[in-house]
Amino acid sequence: MPRPHGFAYRAHTNGSVRITHHDRPATALNGDRAARFLGEVTAGGDPQLVMARWTGACKHGNERTARDHPRNRR
């Protein structure tokens, strides 16, 4: 699976966070969710993976299984 790339975030003074993917809006976080995101992204690790997970743009590992299911074959 390729590593996620192209994510960026911007924390605003009102406590909200905007996450973009290739300069397009991906999600907006406010309040407690924004604070938890900022804590997680600054704690270390790969910030691209953190942003992909928070936006829902990461793969869950079951795509190949679903593709091979008899119902999905053509």
Taking only the tens place, the pLDDT of each residue in 37-54 is: 999 999 988 899 899 889
Residue 30 has pLDDT above 90, yes or no: yes
pLDDT at 64: 63
Spatial separation of the C-alpha atoms in residues 49 and 62, rounded to whole Å = 18
C-alpha distances in Å from residue 32, one per residue of 9, 17, 20, 39, 58 = 16, 11, 19, 11, 22
- At 14, is the pLDDT very low, low, confident or very high (cuts 50, 70, 90)? very high
Of the candidates 26, 21, 29, the residue with the CA atom closest to the CA atom of residue 4: 21
The pLDDT of 4-33, averaged and rounded, is 94
Could you tell me if 9 and 20 are in contact, meaning their C-beta atoms sit under 8 angstroms apart? yes
